[in-house]
Structure 1
Amino acid sequence: MDTSARLLRLLSLLQSRADWTGAELAERLGVGLRTVRRDVGRLRELGYPVDAAPGAAGGYRLGSGTALPPLLLDDEEAVAVTISLRTAATGSVTGLGEPALRALAKLQQVLPSRLRHRVTAFRSSVVPLTGAAAETVDAALPAAIAAACRDHRRIRLRHRRGEQEQVREVEPYRLVHTPHRWYLLAWDTGREDWRTFRADRIMSPLGQPGARFTPRPLPHEDAAAYVSTSISVAPYAHRARILFHAPLAEVAPHTSPTAGRLEAVDGHSCVFHAGSDSLREIAVHVAAKGFDFEVLDPPELVPVLLEVAERLRRAADGSRPHGPGTAAGS
């Protein structure tokens, strides 16, 4: 490679992972260590902040500078970013639409023709299906919450519950999101317990971050599973555990994390945790998934299943097709 092509290749390598040894870079570029050092110096002269650690165990990493360096993407990365930007423009976070479209226009302008055709096909063929206005979150809100999670700083939330507004001081830990909603997992200092807050009910803007806190162990090693349980099981009068006689991988596509939580038992079965204020709703919901199952909890769900099954049987009997000359009900 000539010097310019090698510099671009070096920059691409440095962007692809955090740390590289000099020997690894030399092998990838097909040059010696002295050439690697010279090329790193050239990148620095061009304004790229390449940090170096001396010694045998030392290496190089691309640091953060005052300007955003150009990203070098391979074909699949470029297509993935393009499709993601298009999706973000119609997502559940307000304020991202215009920046996403600006970034998309810049990216499409420099795409090679072989990739532009793929992206154009996606753009011309895919149309978002929008229904009633969904709850959206201002883009600044998850960014501010994420920063507080990272820095372990308390925040004061103004949180809506119906027509009421509550002020809560919390220690934020994780942001968990579904395709349509964002949730904050936090320790509520007033309640002295873990709480899950819907982000679209948190009023913007947040106040200034508060005092630092010492992180405590999370209530569950899987924050997403904990939030799924807290929004789909805990708030309801009835909580159910259903054993599906099917692998988790087969049941999962038929289950939303906001409707319940799945837990693998073995390679042939899984447990579904769900909640509702109506046992009949739980009965219909699990029966509609199309897998054999049994009720682990609560026992009160069993007679409700029998009631629903009998109603369905009567409906099926009364809806049988009648052949020519056959009287209804005969």
Structure 2
Amino acid sequence: MKPNVSIIIPIYNVKPFLEQCLESVLAQDMPEIEVVCVDDGSTDGSSDIIDRFAARDERIVAVHKENGGYGKAVNRGLKHATADYIGIVEPDDYVDPTMYRTLWEAAQRHGCPDVVKAAYWRVCAAGTEEEHMLPANYLHCVSKVDEPFQLAEDAEFLFHHPSIWSAIYRRSFLDEHNIRMREIPGAGWADNPFLMETLAEARTIVYVDEPLYFYREFNVGSSSNVKDPSIIYGRWLDMDDIVKAQHITAPRILEGHYNRGCAYLEMLNDDFDVEDPEIKRNIKAMVARIDYNAVITSQKIPQNYKDAYQRHVSAPARLTHKIGRVFK
């Protein structure tokens, strides 16, 4: 029987969490699933766990490959996936037993939309004595619930963490638009451009206002675990390339996109030497692509993000923007 959803799990050295992840996926109350486990060259015993689970459950497809990074692993999984809808689970997370049935049923109710998305639980300070759960920041904030919409109508998702794993994607939609993960070494925040490309290209999005995924946050509110600043500015510039290529002008989408740009500028300000020539050059490129007036007049972009952005806008440039606004 053909599965309804293929769930891709890109796996690299996550032995402490992998069994819980796999158990939660296999415990779905919709049995018509396929679980494509892509072992990205693990060296910690994760490979043995995958093979053990595959031997006991025929729904698991075990794929072993040399290490190539998160994006390559997901794309390899797509080559093996056979269902009409694709889900992605990160191997140090776990899912509610109703997740894929809930998303699949929403897809059937609404004529097989391109994307069906849910909220999620934030497992904050994961693995510490302070571990606790909070709902995704966008829970109860999306205006369109259980009805098809486009990102231009409500771009709330763009203001929050790029939770690409709290969704399922229609396979033919991904293929039609040639949407794949960027094959960036390591993790590399490949979820950023994937989020923008899928949501902006989608003709129909359906949102289920329930937290169905458990996302572990090991270092809340800091980019200090990112040692390479090019990951931060590079992924936002990738997203902006998508915005330009799709000729996006919808104010709500651009506002969400600029919000992320300003947030990433704050990360760069806080954790890196912004006078370093390479960082400075890329910050300049980011600032040049952000609409000054859209940021300053936004009611949704936080003031600290605006301040991080304005730090890199020269006084003459600010004056030019203000004059332009007055005489439009």
TM-score by length of 1: 0.29
TM-score by length of 2: 0.29
* Structure with bigger gyration radius: 1
